[in-house]
């Protein structure tokens, strides 16, 4: 298990082989506020004051996604965005998902568009 600081200092990489075990996933999720295992992915819903703030977050998130080359599924609504990470090459959850989740949380927490706070 990596600390949040270790996740933030890491970069996504090409991964193959087995996905993380459920016990490892559960332990890592304890360190990431509001992320949960849902239908084979880790997911979190971020909430915003309005649609413009939601899109501002998605645009900021896109910069990180492009840099890490690890792409989530996004479900976008008027004042919310659900981010879901899984790793296709391992058919499950990998360290890349947790690295990206931790970085998404920093983007949300450090930007003016976070609006209503965590969700």
Per-residue pLDDT tens over the stretch 30-70: 999 999 999 999 999 999 999 999 999 999 999 999 999 99
The DSSP bridge partners found for residue 45 are 82
What is the full DSSP assignment across 60-95? Answer: HHHHHHHHHT-PPEEEEETTEEEEEE-BGGGTB--H
Structural domain harbouring 86: 38-119
Domain membership of residue 19 (yes or no) is no
pTM for the full predicted model: 0.92
Pair 15, 95: CB distance under 8 Å: yes
Domain holding 109: CATH number?
A: 3.30.1360.20
Domain membership of residue 4 (yes or no) is no
Domain membership of residue 69 (yes or no) is yes
Model confidence at 112, pLDDT cuts 50, 70, 90, reads confident
Domain membership of residue 21 (yes or no) is no
């Amino acid at each position: 298990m990596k600390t949040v600081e270790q996740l933030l200092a890491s970069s996504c990489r090409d991964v193959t082989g087995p996905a993380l075990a459920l016990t490892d996933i559960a332990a890592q999720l304890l360190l990431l506020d509001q992320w949960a295992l849902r239908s084979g992915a880790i997911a979190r819903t971020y909430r915003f004051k309005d649609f413009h703030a939601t899109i501002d977050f998605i645009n900021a998130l896109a910069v990180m996604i492009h840099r890490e080359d690890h792409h989530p599924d996004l479900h976008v609504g008027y004042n919310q965005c659900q981010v879901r990470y899984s790793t296709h090459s391992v058919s499950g959850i990998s360290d890349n998902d947790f690295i990206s989740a931790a970085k998404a949380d920093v983007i949300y927490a450090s930007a003016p568009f976070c609006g209503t706070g965590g969700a």
